[in-house]
Structures are given as C-alpha cells and as structure tokens.
Amino acid sequence: MKISWRFWAFYREMRAYKDNPSPEWALKIRKDFDELFNSETEYKELNLRIEKTHRNKDFLLTFLDHPHVPLHNNDAELGARAQVRHRDISLFTRNEKGKKVVDRNLTIVKTAKKLDINPFDHIAGLIINGHRQKSLAEIIACKNQKATLDDLKIEGKNSVAAKEDLSNVPVGQHRYISSNL
C-alpha cells in the first residue's frame, strides 16, 4: 500500500481517537506511528522526511497525553493568512500606528471566533458593561485551567485533588500547552 494512503488512514485514526480517547488506543496509535514512520520508500527525499517525522514523535503525539491539544497547527496558519489577506485587500496601512490597530482588531476577532464567541457582541458588551464582563484573556485562562484539571484527572487524580494541587499556582504558571487556542 502507498505510504500516502497509509498516512491518511493513520490521520483518520488519530482524529477518531480525539473523539473517544483511551489508554489502549493511545498505545495502538504509538505502535502504528512507529510502523508508518519506520518504513522505507524508493524516494530518498521522502525517506528523509519520514525519518525527520519519526524523530519528532513525542512532540507530534502530544495529543495522546493531553487531549485538549489539537492534532495540527492550522489555526495559527489561518490567523496569519487572514492578516495577509486584509493587507492585500486594503493595500497596506498609512503608518505603523494603523498597522498596529488593524493587527490588534484582527487578533481580537480571531480569538473570539476560536472561543466560539461573537466578536462584535463581545466588543459591544465590553463597551456597555465595562469591567463586569470577562475579557477574552480571562475566558482563555478559565479554559486553560479546565484543560489542566482534565490532564490531572487523566493522570489518576480526582477533581478535588487536582484543585488542591493547582490552588497555589497562578493561572499563567499551570502546566499546559497554550497552542490549543
């Protein structure tokens, strides 16, 4: 079977795992990863890429130990693409201050969308309600704290023990991977 077909079958398996993770399935995925990325082809360049991928196994399979981590970084790539698209359409800004305003606004909109929040409603709420409404940073901190608690549950601790472990740790210092947002 072609390596590309095996790769896409493996990717579908990883996506299915995200919906229903289990320790047994995680072991199978690690084994399948080794099988797929220890294979040889007749193409030298492809073999070099396969070797490089296998060397990054621990990083690439982070989602097995931390279910809140996405399989890919496409969200970051899409965020950069939106800024480039805006720049191309509007033919640049007049000065550095304008560039910062555009970048800030695009960042707010993209972050709100990632959090499944209507960006315009959120901004209007901040203007109307002021400090009584949570900022996007506070919402992210809450989501990350929940993800950290979920990690501790996976490691065999219940939520009470997890909360005690985290009670003295400032939100920004929790052990989590922030690329999930």
CA dist 71 → 4, 48, 61, 66, 113 (Å): 18, 22, 8, 11, 19
Residue ranges of domains in the chain: 3-65, 74-180
Would you write out the chain's pLDDT as a tens digit for each of its 181 residues? Answer: 688 899 999 999 999 998 889 999 999 999 999 999 999 999 999 999 999 999 999 999 998 988 778 887 776 666 677 777 777 677 777 788 888 888 888 888 888 888 888 988 888 888 888 767 788 888 888 887 776 555 545 444 444 444 444 444 444 433 333 333 3
Buried b vs exposed e over 111-130: b needs ≥16 C-beta within 10 Å?
Answer: bbeeeeeebeebeeebeeee
